[in-house]
Amino acid sequence: MKLCTRASQAGVPIQLVVRGICGLRPGMPGISENIRVTSIVERFLEHSRIYVFGPDEDCRVFLSSADWMPRNFHRRVEVMFPIMAHDLKDRILHEIIPSYLRDNVRARILKPDGTYERLHPTPGEQPWRCQSELLALRPGILPADRVTVVANGDGHGMPQPKPVHST
């Protein structure tokens, strides 16, 4: 958090998309005014751990197995690796990340006082739900109305296709 705050004070724009809790307080003049935090809690609770450092096409893109939390740095074995394939890097930069940043249905913006404000489409703006839009890019993925969650014996739900009945 200290490094993000220092980068913000140096004028570096920082956009974070988190699933839940974030200890940063974005938008504080002189401290974190260049930081924007968006929280998206959606159908798939597991979320991407994508890290992009640097401007535009010169940036470095990484994927990680863990959130940036002390328990993950100090008590677990996690992995973070660079994306070297140009086509994959391009999809991450131009499809995945913009979709999450554009969400105006499930997104909430963290305010300087630590509260979240839900985004809504502005008048004339189309609703954009990132996970639905990303699913639509992949043929063969079942839409939400064709998936049900069943218990797998350990208390966790596993998505299962609903049976299709023909007449």
At 80, phi and psi to the nearest 5? Answer: -135, 130
Q: Which helix or strand (DSSP H or E) is residue 158 part of?
A: strand 157-161
Rounded distance between C-alpha atoms, residue 23 and residue 53, angstroms: 20
Nearest to 14 by CA among 28, 33, 29, 31: 33
Burial of 35 (0-12, 13-18, 19+ CB in 10 A): buried
What is the reported pLDDT for 41?
Answer: 85
Per residue in 89-115, pLDDT (tens digit) is 999 999 889 999 999 999 999 999 999
Expressed in angstroms, the distance from the first to the final Cα of the chain is 58
| Average pLDDT over the chain, rounded to an integer | 81
* Least confident piece of the model among 43-47, 58-62, 159-163: 159-163
Question: Contacts for 90-97 with beta carbons within 8 Å, 24 or more apart?
Answer: 92/50, 92/52, 92/61, 93/52, 93/59, 93/61, 95/134, 95/137, 96/48, 96/50, 96/134, 97/17, 97/50, 97/52
Helices (H), 23-129: 70-74, 86-91, 97-102
Question: Contacts for 131-138 with beta carbons within 8 Å, 24 or more apart?
Answer: 131/42, 131/43, 131/44, 131/106, 133/99, 134/95, 134/96, 134/99, 137/95
Q: How confident is the model at residue 2 (pLDDT cuts 50, 70, 90)?
A: confident
Residue type, 160: Q
What is the reported pLDDT for 136?
Answer: 82
